[in-house]
Amino acid sequence: MPLVRRLLERPGVPPHEAERLLAVATGRSRRDLTAEGEIGVREAERYFELVERRRAGVPLQHLEGTVQFGPIELSSDGRALVPRPETERLWEEAVAALGDAGPGTVIVDLCTGSGNLALALKHRFPSARVFATDRSSEALELAEENAGALGLDVTFLQGDLFAPLPGELYERVDLLVANPPYVAESEFDELPVEVRDHDPRRALVAGPRGDEILERIARDAYWWMATGGWLFCEIGETQSQRALELFGVYLDVEVRLDLARRPRILVGRKGGRCCV
Ligand SMILES: C[S@@+](CC[C@H](N)C(=O)[O-])C[C@H]1O[C@@H](n2cnc3c(N)ncnc32)[C@H](O)[C@@H]1O
């Protein structure tokens, strides 16, 4: 039996992951890796090393070094959270709500990490001015690299939530997106190894309760948003009620479901209805 087929059919690694790891090990595209093909001894060794690291919980995206997020491909490594499908859903919902954007449109992404939301929004709305903040210099380094590779002009600023934004954006933000940390300290040890040991802790944990950063975003968002502006914020699946309370003081709010039908997206609108 050809070696590629043997490796793909070996128990212990799901076939779609085996195929992706083989592509990394051989430097070939998945389409070029036919089950009837052969690979060299060095490639096979490299494949087994990758399988071991994957079994130890290293995210597939770190082994591949890239992740697809909506229409863009990003580099992914330990400097920032691996962008998730639920955040891609948030991006889709935000794009649909904003609809269109001209040169006067302002978009802000808080807690940008790898820059996934900011860059995918700039890709979709090239005329808009897009700003993104993060407290982590490592995450911003990765975000800048991603922006450079994609040729997208986003202003990345280091600092706490809204603090580094220029004052001229006050009451001017048409679309505010955020995927902030929302895990409670006590929940951290229970996270899957892949997340706990490979995503930065600062990207996940908000504080003792988990809603600390959501609370701060809710408190300040209204003052930065333009009238009619939209807010899309990712939340934990047990946080809907709390998020509605926090953001509902200032905005018209609702919680929408992610692709797995879990309540994960808080939507808010200033001076308008957020239900569509
Ligand atoms: C859950 S990750 C989200 C990353 C990215 N937006 C995504 O969707 O994959 C949260 C990010 O928030 C950043 N962060 C944590 N606290 C922050 C704060 N107070 N101000 C700004 N960024 C913060 C972390 O460094 C991390 O990059």
Give the pLDDT of residue 36.
62
CATH of the domain at 173: 3.40.50.150
pTM over 0.95: no
Exposure on the CB side of residue 236, measured as CA atoms within 13 A: 19
Structure tokens given for 147: 């922006």
Give the pLDDT of residue 17.
87
**Which range, of 36-45, 90-99, 180-189, averages the lowest pLDDT?**
36-45
Would you say residue 65 lies in a domain? no
Strands (E) across the chain are located at: 66-69, 72-75, 106-110, 129-134, 155-158, 173-178, 183-184, 205-207, 225-234, 252-257, 263-269
User: Are residues 252 and 122 part of one domain?
Assistant: yes
Would you say residue 80 lies in a domain? yes
Each residue of 128-171: pLDDT tens digit? 999 999 999 999 999 999 999 999 999 999 999 999 999 999 99
CA distance to 67, 129, 161, 208, per residue, from 135 (Å) = 22, 21, 8, 19
For 32-59, the DSSP string reads: T--TT----HHHHHHHHHHHHHHHTT--
Range of the domain at 239: 70-269
Would you say residue 85 lies in a domain? yes
Q: Are 268 and 274 in contact (CB under 8 A)?
A: yes
Would you say residue 23 lies in a domain? yes
Ligand 1 atom showing the smallest separation from residue 111 Cα: 12
**Ligand 1 residue neighbourhood (C-beta within 6 Å):** 80-81, 83, 87, 111-114, 116-117, 133-136, 139, 160-161, 179-181, 202-203, 213
User: Are residues 236 and 191 part of one domain?
Assistant: yes
Each residue of 89-119: pLDDT tens digit? 999 999 999 999 999 999 999 999 999 999 9
User: Are residues 195 and 75 part of one domain?
Assistant: yes
181 alpha carbon – ligand 1 mean position (Å): 6
The chain-wide mean pLDDT, for the chain, equals 92
179 alpha carbon – ligand 1 mean position (Å): 7
15 alpha carbon – ligand 1 mean position (Å): 33
User: Are residues 19 and 126 part of one domain?
Assistant: no
Count: domains in the chain: 2
102 alpha carbon – ligand 1 mean position (Å): 27
Mean local confidence (pLDDT), 56-62: 88
For 220-245, the DSSP string reads: HHHHHEEEEEEEEEE--TT-HHHHHH
User: Are residues 74 and 52 part of one domain?
Assistant: no
User: Are residues 227 and 107 part of one domain?
Assistant: yes
Ligand 1 atom showing the smallest separation from residue 80 Cα: 27
User: Are residues 25 and 104 part of one domain?
Assistant: no
Would you say residue 74 lies in a domain? yes
Q: Which of 61, 135, 224, 232 has most ligand 1 atoms within 8 Å of CB, for mutation?
A: 135
Cα(170)–Cα(241) distance, rounded to whole angstroms? 28
pLDDT band at 55 (very low <50, low <70, confident <90, very high): confident
User: Are residues 156 and 110 part of one domain?
Assistant: yes
Give the pLDDT of residue 148.
98
User: Are residues 160 and 41 part of one domain?
Assistant: no
For residue 240, how many other CB atoms are within 10 A of its CB? 18
Would you say residue 61 lies in a domain? no
